[in-house]
Amino acid sequence: MRSFFGLLVLLSFLGCDEDEQQQTPLPPEPALYFPPSDSDEWETTDASMLNWNTAELSSLIDFLDSSNTRAFIILKDGRIVVEEYFGSNTLGTAPFDKDSRWYWASAGKTLTAALAGIAQQEGVLDIEAPASNYLGTGWTSLSSDKEQLIRVRDQLSMTDNNCTLPSCLTYRTDAGQQWFYHNAPYLLIKEVIESASGISYGNYTDQKIGSVIGLSGQWIQQGYHHVYWSTARDMARFGLLMLNQGAWAQTEVLSDKAYFDQMTHPSQSLNPSYGYLWWLNGQSSIIPPGLSLSIDAPLSEYAPDDLYAGLGLNGQFVEVIPSQQLVVIRLGEAPDISPISMTFHNSLWERIKRVIGP
């Protein structure tokens, strides 16, 4: 009897151990690291420690160098894994480095999307309201009833040429009925936010985002365009903020999670590869810049499906991949002849994938 009882006790303990082993949760993802907002300090991680294919790194770097790249960064869990600089600064007087500034071009639209969300969470802006509430009447050449149909949301989702004069903003179809990569309505979001907040666009950027995350760039007016200039690390800081869904460590910058979700998911059915000024991968179709026809393909066949990106003229990229806790930055001159270098973007991700794996 004692032997049988002892066997039962032993089996019961073994059974508990087996259950505990089966129920042991997987280790959590590493916590995101955030560099100090008031210094140049930034932790790094070696690619070999991540089990990346380091043999492919040199091929990736050679490809970047041959494609007119100036700066390239990959963050993993917030830490720098790859940081490379090429060529000279904009004046041609010194090598391009971590302190050199470059333009974001249309990748800066993502900053505008974040600022619109911040203005809405503060209660000074309603993206569902007509843009005329903030721009006044007569900001287009449309009839007043057609002009009133244009919401701030339509400006954010591109459902409305660079010229922002009323004479350039003529009627084609009702707002929300066509998707076209059209800069003028986007450019006027600057005036919308300034009118709503009562603060200049540059100061609003610095107060709401820059001072929190250490973003030290500057908006510069170039013709009809207001273009953001910064270092590659500044752009990486913004990408890291977006990776953490609008929070910098424990500080909420863009706390409206519903807006964040809308911003980084299809904003309309006309072009599912576009959110609020962010390009989205993993969708069944895309309307590239300059075209009005949809193509049955994703943004990139090689990039992870959950990638969302700011893509700018001449290949300025800020890219966020939540599933792998990655941020990828590319600044530079034109790598090819396409407006925002989508072919180059796909080729770049083909090479990145060889390094980081599937």
Q: Give residue 84's identity as a one-letter amino acid code.
A: E
Token pair for 199: 């603060």
Query: What residues contact residue 262 under an 8 Å CB cut-off, 6+ apart?
Result: 275, 276
Q: Which pLDDT tens digit goes with each residue over 203-246?
A: 999 999 999 999 999 999 987 788 999 999 999 999 999 999 99
First CA to last CA across the chain, in angstroms?
Answer: 57
- For residue 145, count CB atoms less than 10 angstroms from its CB and return exposed for 0-12, middle for 13-18, buried for 19 or more: exposed
Q: Where are the domains of the chain?
A: 47-356
Q: Per-residue pLDDT for 324 more than 70?
A: yes
The DSSP result for 250-287, as a single string, is TEESS--HHHHHHHTS-SSSS-TTBSSS-EESS-S-B-
Q: Residue 327 and residue 240: Cα distance in Å, rounded? A: 7
- For 47-356, the fitting CATH number among 3.40.50.1700, 3.30.750.24, 3.40.1350.10, 3.40.710.10 is 3.40.710.10
Say what the pLDDT of residue 28 is.
Answer: 58
**Bridge partners of residue 319, in order along the sequence:** 309, 328
pTM above 0.75, yes or no: yes
Residue with tokens 């792998």: 324
Q: Band of the pLDDT at 97, cuts 50, 70, 90?
A: very high
Q: Per-residue pLDDT for 17 more than 60?
A: no
Say what the pLDDT of residue 91 is.
Answer: 85
H helix count then E strand count, the chain: 13, 11
Instruction: Report which of residues 201 and 171 the model is more confident about.
Output: 201
Q: How far is CA 12 from CA 4, 16, 19, 272, in A?
A: 12, 6, 11, 55
